[in-house]
Amino acid sequence: MAQALFQSSFLACSDLSSNSSKGSDIFGSQLRSPEIELSQLRFLSCYKRNPTLRLKALMESPGLAQDTVDDKPKVTRMIKEVPDHFKELKHRFLSFKKDKYLSNLEHYNGLAEAQVPKFMVIACADSRVCPSSILGFQPGEAFVVRNVANLVPPHENGPTETNAALEFAVNSLEVENVLVVGHSCCGGIKALMSLEDEAISSSFIKNWVIAGKPARLQTKAVASDLNFDQQCRHCEKESINRSLMNLLTYPWIEERVIRGKLSIHGGYYDFTDCTFEKWTLDYKGSTMLSESSCSIKNREFWA
Ligand SMILES: [Zn+2]
């Protein structure tokens, strides 16, 4: 056991050593000198101090993993499961490389130089609503940011990764369309609708979805006669429109909308019946309405 541990830790340490070939010779020998004992202790110490090294050694030696992590069954399970998942991902990646990348090499070489996407997409982090899967975006076609409940906070809320992505997509990439995609059965919207009024929480989720509070209030105002699930469906769409209006609170977005360089769209993907609803913000109409209202145009229903 000790010898196995020593050998594996040395292999993992080899990229840190300037004399790995000498070490291999030593390990191939059955001789045990004081110098070797000292080396074993040094590498054992290195192995124990370095979590990355320990993990690497475990992954490279399944038998060793069993011997050394008996006191941590969760780590053992993770090591057993990960290779199967990545075997499938490796297969998919190599298929992508063969069937798409190498078959369209000129296109991908162009993408290596620059990206010119027409769309900026803001979608939910939910694993069922990947915009590239349901709308067929190919590499280079859409600059995407995903967050819980596909929310766009107003400008006054300050920096988030979502408006950082927006700033780059609008000002640097000069995308022509911003599309906010909501979806059915959204857990983030359910969390928003479940918020206690004015409750202070340490939950990151609650403190994020609170940005959609106006949509929640609007839903409660107009759909109070519906049951909770129906209110959530209503809020899923209401929050999209609130996000479209929030986009206009960013001066550099509104300016491009006014100049006709940028269009703002909403989308709603219902995965219970696989339908997609799409609409476009009517800027002139919206500015004539009250602050809480949104005028839309070009509504389409894809079924
Ligand atoms: Zn969601």
DSSP per-residue string spanning 140-165: TSEEEEEEGGG----GGG---HHHHH
Q: Which residue has the tokens 């988030």?
A: 160
Going from the Cα of 130 to the center of ligand 1, the distance in angstroms, rounded, reads: 11
Query: What are the DSSP calls for 207-261, one per residue?
Result: HHHGGGHHHHHHHHHH-TTS-HHHHHHHHHHHHHHHHHHHHTTSHHHHHHHHTTS
Going from the Cα of 35 to the center of ligand 1, the distance in angstroms, rounded, reads: 60
What are 177-202's pLDDT values in tens digits?
999 999 999 999 999 999 987 667 88
C-alpha to C-alpha distance for 96 and 134, rounded to whole angstroms? 18
Going from the Cα of 149 to the center of ligand 1, the distance in angstroms, rounded, reads: 4
What per-residue confidence (pLDDT) applies to 10?
Answer: 32
Q: What are phi and psi of 154, to 5 degrees?
A: -70, 160
Going from the Cα of 29 to the center of ligand 1, the distance in angstroms, rounded, reads: 60
Q: What's the token pair of residue 100? A: 């798409």
Going from the Cα of 188 to the center of ligand 1, the distance in angstroms, rounded, reads: 5
Sequence spans of domains, the chain: 2-68, 71-114, 116-302
State the pLDDT confidence band at 23, using cuts at 50, 70 and 90.
very low
Output the known binding site for Zn(2+).
124, 126, 183, 186
In this structure, what DSSP letter does residue 279 have? E
Q: What are phi and psi of 70, to 5 degrees?
A: -60, -30
pTM (predicted TM-score): 0.73
Q: Which of 14-18, 77-81, 148-152 has the lowest mean pLDDT?
A: 14-18
CATH number given to 116-302: 3.40.1050.10
Q: What's the token pair of residue 96? A: 């992508």
Q: Which of 52-61, 209-218, 291-300 has the lowest mean pLDDT?
A: 52-61
Going from the Cα of 47 to the center of ligand 1, the distance in angstroms, rounded, reads: 42
What are 117-130's pLDDT values in tens digits?
999 999 999 999 99
